[in-house]
Amino acid sequence: MNVPMKRRSWPVAAVAALLAVSACTSSGGGTSSGPKPSDPPAATARPGVLRVLAGSELQDLAPILEEARKATGVTVQFSWTGSLDGADAVSSGRADGKYDAVWFPSNQYLRLDDTGKSKVLSETPVMVSPVAVGVRSSVLDDLGWGDGSKVSWAQIGDAASAGKLSYGMADPSRSNSGFSTLVAVASAFSGAGSALSEADVQKATPSLKRFFTGQKLTSGSSGWLAQAYTRAEPGMVGALVNYESVLLSMNKSLPPEQQLTVIRPLDGVVSADYPLSLLSSSAQRERDSFQRLTAYLLKEDVQKRISEVTLRRPVAPGVPPAAGLPSDRRRELPFPGSRAVADGLLASYQNDLRRPSRTVYVLDTSGSMEGSRISALKSALGRLTGTDDTRGVRRFRNREEVTLISFASNVKWTKTHAVPASGSQPGPETELASINTDVQSLSASGGTAVYDSLEEAYRVIGRQQSAAGDDRFTSIVLMTDGESNVGATDGDFKRFHDGLAAWQKSVPVFPIKFGEAAVSQLQGIADVSGGKLFDGAGSLDGVFEEIRGYQ
């Protein structure tokens, strides 16, 4: 877009940016009823309202919380974020005074930080669900795994490395289900009887690499992972790793051929116990609300109902779990006991264990981007080249291939960088600095040819793939602040996409809406490619970081 436009203050005020960072994972998850995820928490506490920073999977508690409101007079007002990001918000003090409580699948990661630990006054587990593997029934038969009740992580790892089992799993640096899976497989493969140490992780590295060759889908949120599983071509993705409750709930709406058999591996699981946690910074009135709410949620009849509605397991010992939840027990694999081990495991997943990524950024540098917008873009992308990132939540990973395409009326330039593997000389810092140099050289001028440039991105990927013949998570990010007004149209793009090879069709595009971007065009691109639309209006930094979970 090269039409002159009104300038407004950009980026937005610091408070709003802060909010957007913590609430932004929600951009795609807010279709169901209940509070809108992007609702900001009340600036100040209100009587009878408990402001809760929570994992978006708790949306399924809406009917229970409505009943709780009637019974106790306490309204829960949620803001959504990922478990590990939520832990950061608590540790850093960003949750103080803004929220009264936090509610994530697990507080294990939060508790490994002394400051984080001191910010939580009390924790009450409300329900339990182990992380499990949901395997498509036809795949289960091919593998000869019977009803799935006698399968170990070792068997799953063998099937994955033999190319017989491909699966989707959420990004462990963001999502508790992904992190729990990583802990479970690392424990199982290292033979560590007890909690993991750095040495155990080392020992398990070869088997972990083999296990992760089977991971074909990654995601920053479990909602999108489920969608991606549903739309994947038959045979592309045979399994999903997620909470038992999520897998069983998915079965309610999946067609027969996509039904999942839930495997809780025999050699052990890591379970989430959903502790409703009161923050030390909360005021007395909110503490009273918290006590009323937790007392209600633990009542036997309510526990029974929670299990029936959510397919999680009750924590009250006398209450039977809902029908369909098997009662045989599994060993609980211990969670790492230190932040260093936990972060080390995450960093090695991102940089060494997982399949590497091929990531293409299609960046609008048309005239309208001039000034604060291009500065915001440079800053957001530049952050991904920084090395101050202990658990691998942001920066371009070792072994990642990153392509930047700068476009306006046509593609201005295309530059590709390969971040070296761990242990290479020179190390990743040199290449990251070189990516940042390209980022800082972006300059704004010209019109907006969105579709032409996007088609070029697919061609770049085609060339890179056929030259390297490698096996990578491949995705495209499209950032634009305007409507496509030069070159190919949306109809042209659909025809182009239809003509792609099957593997290229499965490359998702993650468009970022910025400035006066045409939402309908961008949503169309996300839908056609199986991607997901992100909103960069609040904080471009936050959105670029969030998308890392999908790359």
Chain residues that interact with other proteins, rule: CB under 8 A: 96-97, 108, 111-112, 117-118, 120-125, 127-128, 130, 193-197, 266-269, 271, 273, 275, 278, 280-285, 287-288, 291, 295, 300, 313-318, 327-332, 334-337
> Which of 284, 425 has the CB closer to other proteins?
284
> Which of 181, 219 has the CB closer to other proteins?
181
With 0-12 CB in 10 A as exposed, 13-18 as middle and 19+ as buried, what is 524? middle
Q: Where are the beta strands (DSSP E) in 204-250?
A: 215-219, 239-243
- In angstroms, give the least distance from the CB of 458 to other proteins: 44
Q: In sequence order, which residues have a C-beta less than 8 Å from that of residue 235 and are 6 or more positions away?
A: none
> Which of 253, 327 has the CB closer to other proteins?
327
Answer yes or no: are the C-beta atoms of 355 and 215 closer than 8 Å. yes
- In angstroms, give the least distance from the CB of 5 to other proteins: 43
At residue 245, φ and ψ (nearest 5 deg) are -65, -40
Q: Strand 49-54 to strand 509-513: parallel, antiparallel, or no bridges (unpaired)?
A: unpaired
> Which of 115, 430 has the CB closer to other proteins?
115
- In angstroms, give the least distance from the CB of 494 to other proteins: 48
> Which of 278, 547 has the CB closer to other proteins?
278
CA nearest to 131, candidates 264, 251, 222, 220: 264
- In angstroms, give the least distance from the CB of 20 to other proteins: 25
Cα(320)–Cα(488) distance, integer angstroms: 59
Q: In sequence order, which residues have a C-beta less than 8 Å from that of residue 191 and are 6 or more positions away?
A: 203
- In angstroms, give the least distance from the CB of 347 to other proteins: 18
Please tell me whether residue 131 adopts helix, strand or coil conformation. Answer: strand
Q: In sequence order, which residues have a C-beta less than 8 Å from that of residue 442 and are 6 or more positions away?
A: 363, 365, 374, 377, 378, 406
- In angstroms, give the least distance from the CB of 329 to other proteins: 4
> Which of 313, 397 has the CB closer to other proteins?
313
DSSP string, 166-228: -EEEE-TTT-HHHHHHHHHHHHHHHT-SSS--HHHHHHHHHHHHHHHTTEEEEESSHHHHHHH
Q: Strand 127-136 to strand 239-243: parallel, antiparallel, or no bridges (unpaired)?
A: antiparallel
Retrieve residue 48's tokens: 């009878």
> Which of 17, 195 has the CB closer to other proteins?
195
Cα(147)–Cα(369) distance, integer angstroms: 56
> Which of 314, 542 has the CB closer to other proteins?
314
> In this structure, what DSSP letter does residue 350 have?
I
- In angstroms, give the least distance from the CB of 131 to other proteins: 11
> Which of 314, 536 has the CB closer to other proteins?
314
Please tell me whether residue 313 adopts helix, strand or coil conformation. Answer: strand
- In angstroms, give the least distance from the CB of 120 to other proteins: 7
Q: Where are the beta strands (DSSP E) in 469-532?
A: 473-480, 509-513
> In this structure, what DSSP letter does residue 332 have?
B
Answer yes or no: are the C-beta atoms of 486 and 449 closer than 8 Å. yes
Cα(454)–Cα(490) distance, integer angstroms: 11
> Which of 244, 481 has the CB closer to other proteins?
244
- In angstroms, give the least distance from the CB of 99 to other proteins: 13
Retrieve residue 405's tokens: 């395409």
- In angstroms, give the least distance from the CB of 226 to other proteins: 23
Cα(344)–Cα(9) distance, integer angstroms: 40
- In angstroms, give the least distance from the CB of 265 to other proteins: 10
Cα(536)–Cα(546) distance, integer angstroms: 11
> Which of 96, 308 has the CB closer to other proteins?
96
> Which of 45, 476 has the CB closer to other proteins?
45
> In this structure, what DSSP letter does residue 269 have?
B
- In angstroms, give the least distance from the CB of 446 to other proteins: 52
- In angstroms, give the least distance from the CB of 277 to other proteins: 9
Q: In sequence order, which residues have a C-beta less than 8 Å from that of residue 123 and are 6 or more positions away?
A: 107, 275, 276, 277, 278
> Which of 2, 180 has the CB closer to other proteins?
180
At residue 305, φ and ψ (nearest 5 deg) are -70, -40
Cα-only R_g, the chain: 23
Q: Where are the beta strands (DSSP E) in 280-334?
A: 313-314
